[in-house]
Structures are given as structure tokens and as C-alpha cells.
Chains A and B, each alone.
Chain A
């Protein structure tokens, strides 16, 4: 029995979140921040254990519901660890960014916000480390509840509608997946003792029609979660009507479950069915890339704009997964990590705009940079990360995805490259419309002398720091995620095509 690192890592923020429901007048946010930082510290300790003694040192397995073969099985591969690290780093930053918001909004208490974010963090950690299908499913669905309340409790005017739409889309995917989860049990029980362990399920033969149907059940849930066109419509609404911190948790962390699940479950349990579905997924990915980018170009609301850029970016990630090369899959996992920080930067910096001006309407801004130079620099950097400028980590991962895809599917990569151009259009357009041009009334009245304050800088510096650091020195991250890609390729039994483009190593 190894030391249950991951169990404690997940339970710590949940316990912290529940503790905030006790009467802790005034100290709630400080207590919450304490728990978030403690979790982050523990998260890096876990990473240390991983690099020192390997993934096996983190594995936990205990029987949980014996009669249906479910285990409390946690473990982390490179991808899981990357996602966990992203989660534990982003959570305290989100708390910091929203330090004053609940007081200003006057809706629910600040303690409730902090508590829900912490509970969400704990549940996400379990989602990213579950090695048992039912356990994963359980936490996958459970994350919806705190997220729903985060939108309902602290969102904008149409929060109730947006929250319900988010929940129904997610539940639709989740319940279809439930049918597949039950089907897996039936197959597993038929073959002997039922077991939900991924390692046991991977031994079963799913190279048949049933396997394809079961895989589709999982895939639908992940496609909705990611989200991909045409089931993306919940995301712009949810992002628009929630606070920037909530949107960061939603898009930066929760949506990763979609691509994470495709690699871990669809590829891991159903390699044959995944090869079978790949052509469709590649086309869907391209549609997402282009449609998301066009949606971003057409958005009049900054929060919606950022949400659409994510739809486009998730298209790239899915393209990387189903291109089936080591380089493209590791690129995707690295992309997932970068996207978390890149989106956080966008949402939070847009949040600062909204906080000052009270609106997210692009037309209301203009010439803001005259008053707030540092702010506009940070704003620019965030958008440059979104368009994948060399020197920022998003460039590295986007390049890996495209280069990897090109090796197998040159035409798809070529079309995807159009998405890169469109990303430059929406990014620079957003910067131009907000920061440059004639000074608008809002800019003159709301931004004079209100550059980023210390608190806001404290949030943005680590996020941009990560993006810059991994942009110049991607080696540790790429090394972390590569085993996941290699393992996925082995499961798929697909060989890499002869290299045409040497990756950035």
C-alpha cells in the first residue's frame, strides 16, 4: 500500500470548501486561500514524488463497491499530472482574481464562492486521476453541481438560463455516457468477474459493433464537454453570464475533461473503435477550428469572444488526438495545459475591463491604452498567447499539433492552418477595438488613472510567467506528457508516419 497522495490531494480542497460552511465570519476568503495554497504545495510535492519514484508511487487501489466491481483507484500518468498541476495552480489565482468580487456583486456571500471553487477543484483532481470508469463518471457528473451554483449564484443578468443550459447539455452527454458505462459493466461481468478498472477493461475485446456503440456513448459526452461544434452553444452563454473566475474554472479546467476523456477512455479502452471514428472526428475538429474562429471574429461581447476562441482551440486539440501521431497527441496534451493558462489570462484580463467599465460590449471601448499602459500590455500579451505567437508556450503546442497532423493528414493540417490565420484576426481585432483608436466615453470616464493594481498584477504575473517560461523552455512539459502519447499510440497499434518535419525538442 503506497501513501495515498492523490486521495489527500483531492480531499484537502473539498474539506476546505466544506469547512467554509461553518461560521467563519470574515476569515472565509483567507481560510479558502490557505487551503488553495496548501493544495498547490501538495500538488507540487506529488509531482516531485512522481518524478523521483515514478507513477507507481502514486497508485492507489482499494475495493469500493465490491458487488459491482468498482474500485477507489487513483493514479496519474503524464497527462493526468499535467492537468492536476494546472488545476492546483489556477485555483488560487482564480480566488485571488475574484478576491473582491462577491462583495461587489452583492449576490451570494464571498465564502460561498470560495467554498464552491475549492470543492470544484477537489472534484476535478479526482476526475483527472480516476483509474476506474465508474469513479471517473461519478466525479465527472459531480463537478456539474458546484459549477451550476457558481454560475447561478454569482453570474450576470441571465445567469439562471445560462446555468440551466450548461447543466442540461452536460447532463445530456453524461447520461448517454451512463448507458455506455453500464454497457461496459455488462460486458465485463459476462467475461467473468465485473471490474471497472481501466486496466481490466483494456483487456476486453471491443473490436465489434457493441464496442463502437459504447465508444460513441463516451465520445458524445466528451464532444459536448470539450465543446465542439455543433454542441458548443452552451459555452458562450455560460461564459457570458458568469464571472471571469467562474469562466476560467469552466473553460480552463472543466472543459479539459473532454479531450482528457477522449485520450484516456476512448483511445485507451476502445482503440479499434477510435480508429474507426477518426475520419469523422477530424472533420468535426476542422469545423470547430474554423467555426469557433469565425464566431470569435463576429462576437460583440468580450466574454463570448474568449469562449469562441476556446471552441477553436479545442478543435486543434481534437485534431491532434485523432491525427494519431506521437507528436500530435503530445502536442494536444501540452496544448491542454497551455490553453488552461492562456484562457485564464484572457478571461481574467477581460474581467478587469468589465470591473472598471461595467460592460463586456466591445463597442463601448476604444483608446483605453492611453490611460492604462500596463493593463494594455498585459491585454496584448494575453491575446498574443491566444494567437500562438512564437516565444509563448501556445505556439509550441500548436506547432506540434499541426506538424504531427501534417505528417499523416497534410490536407487537414493545411485547412487547420487557416484557423491559425483567423486566430490572428480575432486576437488583433480585439486588441485594436479595445485598446487603440479614438478614445471612447467609457474609456475616458472609467479608465483614467486605473491601471492594474497590485492584486491584479499578482494574478497576471504568474499566469503570463508560465506561458513565457514554457514558451522558451517547453522541455519539462513535453517530457511530462510524452509518455501519455506513446502509450496511446501503442494502444492504437498505429505507427508514426516517417517524419517530415522535425518537432521542437
Chain B
């Protein structure tokens, strides 16, 4: 009966149903970790099947839950306001789950690789050591790549929906740490792969540190981690804005590192090239999607009132990113490296819409957020398909990504060359592919936000970028067939993502209305 004592601790309320998509994937990942430990002896052969079952089951289940919740119209802050469930969150979760699933399917491919996956059988062994040889000989394939990918998806889902800076940081680390590991797990050229992993880790850790410092400064300014509180505080500041601006710059550098924006792009080509190709496909789209969403949320929700100070900075970064990505892409002679520079250029195109911060006609025409979501969906299908196809062009030593190996591919396999052409045309933004509608929407957002000149720069950068995509098409169709490379026979684990990617790329190019209307109606952040 002691009414004097206030409770020291309020139990947090957790909306389990609304958070179920994250929890399902998280649960599946936890079970997946145990698989390698439990399934030994005769069960060993079934590890892959169990892991894939967990991946497919959890992502599809979570996706169904996302759709279910979205149709019920569940919205609002969750878990004591640390997660915000709103339109962009729904789209981002759905897209992350679909793209995650498609990308992980390619992880499972063994046929193209002579009966083994693209990952080191025992990633913990030293390259070239006796242990590695033994693991290879007895085919002691570990399957930790699958739960790692699922953990990464969990982190991305949190990152894309985090409503306070601390949750944002937790999400960032949860999705980054598995990625660092996954990058170093290539079966072939392990040293290159581990080098990529280390580079990614060191630079990523540095950017995380920046980010955290930015969080601390913004907290010092606003006295809260919550994005909404920061926005309120900016209306009636206690301190000068120096603290805010410094914090803002540091936050931005952490976020833009993950997006791959100049000048934080340097890791991209090396990591894309060194990482196992299926992992590259996974992070090329999923990381970018989550990071762009987080950037948008921080800058639109928390710092929307400071728009006039960050818009010019972002415009400059967008120009630098587009131009550098497009121009540096011109000189590449390696397909994966070219796609890495292409991803930098695309980050620049995305930024144009971020700069526009267009909110007119919310819900009826695509806002900046909606156009970015559509762009990511369009880009995602093409990216996953393209990287899956990259795994199929091989020589005796394994995958061969040089342009020389891709020369005359159309004669060896018209289907691989033809579908790759669809993806490249989509990247280049040629009409009747999803990429064109995506480009149109982000550029339109930039223009409506008052940045017409940025659109002109962007179309010129698109032209430069188009050149290197078209050059690869020329290499495939007009080049003499390369003598040493061949197109590997792949199983459904590769072909299904490729087919879905190609079908979606064409569908979204011809009949984008359903998806575009959906993202338009879901294209507003809750505050």
C-alpha cells in the first residue's frame, strides 16, 4: 500500500504482433546458428536444406505478416517509440525480405560451382593451411552464411525503421558485422576476399565511430535520442547550432558511408570485387536500401526544419557521386568492378531525390520518399539478377569477371546475354524497363523540389553511365567469343532469382502503376 514509492522502472511495452516480421527472421537466424552445432554425423548432409527451409520460411512468413499488418493499417511508434511503423517502413521491410530471399537463394547454388557453394567450406581456417585442405577434401561445408545473412536482414529492418538514434546505431551494427564476415568467406581467391573484408571492416568501424560521435553531439544539443524530439528541439534551441551542425555532419558521414556516396565511397569497388559474388548481390541492394531509408528518416523527420542548410550540401554530394561513379566506371574492365561504380552512380541519382525533399501532393503523386522507394525496388530486381548472372560466367579456376571472358557471350548462351542486357538497359534507364520509371520518378522529385539544374546534371551523368553499360552489351553481342571462358550450368537456385528479376524489371517498366501508386500512398514518414 505504499503509494509514495514511484516505480523505479516501467516495464517496456512491446507490440509483438506489429514487430513480428523482425522477430520471425531473428528467431530463424538464432535457430540457424544451432544447425551447424546440432546436425552432425549423418544429419550433416541435410544442413543446407534445413538452413534454406529456415530462410524461405522466415522471410516469406515475415513478408506475409508485413502485408497483413499493412492491410490492417497498423501504424505508429513501436517498442517505446524506438521503431516507427509507417508507410516507408512497410515498403522497406517488404522489399528487404523479398530481395533478401532472392539473394540468399543464390547462396545455395552448388551446381555451377562443381557441387560446392561459393563459400569457404570452413571460413575459420587459414587460407592454404592443412585444415583448409582437409575441410575441402571431406566437404565439411559450414552453413553459417545463412544465419549471418538473416541477422543482417534483421539489422537492416531495424535500421530502416529506427525512430531514435540509438536504435539506429544498434541496427547499423547488427547488419554490418555479419556483412563484414560474409565478405571474407569466398571459397576461391580467399586472400582477396579476406582483404576486402578487412577493408570493409576497418572503414566501416571508422564510419560507425563517426556516427556514434554524431549521435552524442546531437544528443547533447537536443537532450533526446528520439527523432521527433530533435525536430521539436530545433524549434526552440537551448544551445547554439554549432553543436547541431557538427553532429549532423558526423551523422551524415556514417549514413552516407553505407549508401556509398562520394567521398565515402572508396570501399565499394574493392569490397564488391573481393566479396563472394552472391554476397555482393545481397549487399548491393539490401545495404543500400536500408541505409537510404535511414538517411531519409534522419534528415526528413529529425532535421527537416534545417532543410535549407543540408540541401545544398547534399546537392554537391549528389553531383560528385554521379560524376565520379559514371566517369570512373568508364575505365573498368571487370564486370563486378563496373557494377560497383554503377552502384556509386546510382547512389548519386538517388541523392537527387533526397535533395529535392519533395512533399507536394503527398499520397497522390510520388513524393521524394516514394520515388526513392520505387527506384530501390526497380534497382533491386536488376541488381540481384545481374549479380546472379555474373556467377555463371566462368573459366577453369572459377568465376571470370573480366570483359575478355564476357566477350561474345551471346553466341555461347543467348539467354544469359539477353537477360543481362535487360538488366543493363534497366541500369542505364532505357524505357520499357523498370530503371527508366525509377529514374523518371527520382528526377521528377528533384525538379519539383526546386532542383531543376540537378536534373540536367543527372541526365548528363546518366549518359556517361549509359556508355559503360552499353559497352558491356557490345562486348557480349559483337565481340569474338572468348576461348577460355564458358557459361556454367546453374540450378534453379540461380535461375529463379534471375527469372524473377527479369520479369519484374520488364513488368515494372511497362505497367508500373500498381507499385507506383502503392509507394505513392505509403510515401510519408510518421513523426
Q: Contact: B463 with A144, CB < 8 Å?
A: no
**Is A371 interfacial (CB 8 A cutoff)?**
no
Q: Interface centre among B431, B437, B513, by most A CB within 10 Å?
A: B431
**Is B478 interfacial (CB 8 A cutoff)?**
yes
Tell which of A134-142, A293-301, A317-325, A355-363 binds the partner: A134-142
Q: B462 to chain A: which residues have CB within 8 Å?
A: 175, 178
Q: Contact: A178 with B478, CB < 8 Å?
A: no
Shortest beta-carbon distance from B461 to chain A in Å: 9
Q: A68 to chain B: which residues have CB within 8 Å?
A: 365-366, 440-441, 444, 516
Interface string of A127-171 (1 = CB under 8 A from B): 000000010011111101100110011000001100110011001
Shortest beta-carbon distance from B480 to chain A in Å: 11
In the bound complex, CA of A175 to CA of B366 (Å)? 21
Name the residue on A nearest B519 (C-beta): A67
Shortest beta-carbon distance from B29 to chain A in Å: 37
Name the residue on B nearest A168 (C-beta): B467
In the bound complex, CA of A67 to CA of B447 (Å)? 16
Q: Contact: B444 with A182, CB < 8 Å?
A: yes
**Is B455 interfacial (CB 8 A cutoff)?**
yes
**Is B379 interfacial (CB 8 A cutoff)?**
no
Q: Contact: B436 with A141, CB < 8 Å?
A: yes
**Is B492 interfacial (CB 8 A cutoff)?**
no
In the bound complex, CA of A139 to CA of B479 (Å)? 28
Shortest beta-carbon distance from A132 to chain B in Å: 13
Name the residue on B nearest A134 (C-beta): B440
Report if A164-B470 is in contact (Cβ < 8 Å); known contacts: A141-B436, A175-B463. yes
In the bound complex, CA of A168 to CA of B365 (Å)? 32
Q: Contact: A149 with B477, CB < 8 Å?
A: yes
Q: Looking at the complex, which one of A65, A140, A145, A160 makes contact with B516 (CB distance below 8 Å)?
A: A65
Kindly identify, within residues 186 to 214 of chain A, every residue whose CB is under 8 Å from any CB belonging to chain B: 186, 189, 194
Shortest beta-carbon distance from A58 to chain B in Å: 22
Report if A178-B470 is in contact (Cβ < 8 Å); known contacts: A66-B517, A67-B520. no
Q: Contact: B516 with A67, CB < 8 Å?
A: yes
Q: Contact: B425 with A145, CB < 8 Å?
A: yes
Interface string of B423-446 (1 = CB under 8 A from A): 001000011100011011101100
Report if A163-B431 is in contact (Cβ < 8 Å); known contacts: A66-B513, A182-B444. no
Q: Contact: A182 with B520, CB < 8 Å?
A: no
Q: Contact: B361 with A141, CB < 8 Å?
A: no
Q: A138 to chain B: which residues have CB within 8 Å?
A: 431-432, 436
In the bound complex, CA of A138 to CA of B430 (Å)? 8
In the bound complex, CA of A176 to CA of B460 (Å)? 7
**Is B45 interfacial (CB 8 A cutoff)?**
no
Q: Contact: A182 with B365, CB < 8 Å?
A: no
Kindly identify, within residues 402 to 433 of chain B, every residue whose CB is under 8 Å from any CB belonging to chain A: 425, 430-432
Q: Looking at the complex, which one of A67, A145, A148, A176 makes contact with B459 (CB distance below 8 Å)?
A: A176
Kindly identify, within residues 452 to 467 of chain B, every residue whose CB is under 8 Å from any CB belonging to chain A: 452, 455-456, 459-460, 462-463, 466-467
In the bound complex, CA of A67 to CA of B425 (Å)? 24
Q: B471 to chain A: which residues have CB within 8 Å?
A: 164
Kindly identify, within residues 215 to 248 of chain B, every residue whose CB is under 8 Å from any CB belonging to chain A: none
In the bound complex, CA of A186 to CA of B360 (Å)? 11
Q: Contact: B448 with A186, CB < 8 Å?
A: yes
Report if A144-B430 is in contact (Cβ < 8 Å); known contacts: A67-B365, A186-B444. yes
Q: Contact: B477 with A152, CB < 8 Å?
A: yes
In the bound complex, CA of A144 to CA of B473 (Å)? 13
Q: Interface centre among A168, A183, A186, by most B CB within 10 Å?
A: A186
Query: For this complex, into which size category does the number of interface residues on chain A fall?
Result: 35 or more
Report if A152-B474 is in contact (Cβ < 8 Å); known contacts: A171-B463, A182-B443, A189-B361. yes
How many residues on B have C-beta within 8 angstroms of the other chain's C-beta atoms?
39
Q: B441 to chain A: which residues have CB within 8 Å?
A: 68
Q: Contact: B456 with A179, CB < 8 Å?
A: yes
Name the residue on B nearest A194 (C-beta): B365
In the bound complex, CA of A176 to CA of B466 (Å)? 13
Q: Looking at the complex, which one of B437, B470, B512, B516 makes contact with A167 (CB distance below 8 Å)?
A: B470
Kindly identify, within residues 331 to 364 of chain B, every residue whose CB is under 8 Å from any CB belonging to chain A: 360-361, 364
Q: Contact: A179 with B474, CB < 8 Å?
A: no
Shortest beta-carbon distance from B510 to chain A in Å: 9
In the bound complex, CA of A159 to CA of B480 (Å)? 13
Name the residue on B nearest A63 (C-beta): B513
In the bound complex, CA of A175 to CA of B456 (Å)? 9
Q: Contact: B455 with A182, CB < 8 Å?
A: yes
Q: Looking at the complex, which one of A145, A163, A189 makes contact with B430 (CB distance below 8 Å)?
A: A145
Q: A69 to chain B: which residues have CB within 8 Å?
A: 365
Q: A137 to chain B: which residues have CB within 8 Å?
A: 431
In the bound complex, CA of A163 to CA of B478 (Å)? 10
Shortest beta-carbon distance from A261 to chain B in Å: 15
Q: Contact: B366 with A182, CB < 8 Å?
A: no
In the bound complex, CA of A492 to CA of B459 (Å)? 30
Name the residue on A nearest B440 (C-beta): A182
Report if A160-B463 is in contact (Cβ < 8 Å); known contacts: A67-B513, A137-B431, A189-B361. no
Q: Contact: A178 with B516, CB < 8 Å?
A: no
Q: Contact: A178 with B440, CB < 8 Å?
A: yes
Shortest beta-carbon distance from A292 to chain B in Å: 26
**Is A64 interfacial (CB 8 A cutoff)?**
yes
Shortest beta-carbon distance from B285 to chain A in Å: 24
In the bound complex, CA of A160 to CA of B517 (Å)? 40
In the bound complex, CA of A194 to CA of B431 (Å)? 20
Q: A189 to chain B: which residues have CB within 8 Å?
A: 360-361, 365, 448
Q: B513 to chain A: which residues have CB within 8 Å?
A: 64-67
Q: B459 to chain A: which residues have CB within 8 Å?
A: 175-176, 178-179
Name the residue on A nearest B448 (C-beta): A186
Q: Contact: B455 with A141, CB < 8 Å?
A: no
**Is A421 interfacial (CB 8 A cutoff)?**
no
Name the residue on B nearest A173 (C-beta): B463
**Is A291 interfacial (CB 8 A cutoff)?**
no
Q: Contact: B463 with A163, CB < 8 Å?
A: no
In the bound complex, CA of A142 to CA of B430 (Å)? 7
Q: Contact: B474 with A160, CB < 8 Å?
A: yes
Q: B437 to chain A: which residues have CB within 8 Å?
A: 65
User: What 7 pairs across the A-B complex have the smallest Cβ distances?
Assistant: A160-B478, A138-B431, A175-B459, A141-B431, A186-B447, A67-B520, A179-B459
27 pairs across A/B with beta carbons < 8 Å? A65-B437, A65-B512, A65-B516, A67-B365, A67-B366, A68-B441, A68-B444, A142-B431, A144-B430, A145-B425, A145-B430, A148-B473, A149-B477, A152-B474, A164-B470, A171-B463, A172-B463, A175-B466, A178-B440, A179-B443, A179-B456, A179-B459, A181-B440, A182-B447, A182-B455, A183-B455, A194-B365
Given contacts A175-B459, A176-B460, 20 further A-B contacts (CB under 8 A): A64-B513, A65-B516, A67-B364, A68-B365, A68-B366, A68-B444, A140-B431, A152-B478, A159-B478, A160-B474, A163-B478, A164-B470, A167-B470, A175-B466, A178-B439, A178-B443, A179-B443, A179-B455, A183-B452, A186-B452
B contacts, CB < 8 Å to A:
360-361, 364-366, 425, 430-432, 436-437, 439-441, 443-444, 447-448, 452, 455-456, 459-460, 462-463, 466-467, 470-471, 473-474, 477-479, 512-513, 516-517, 520
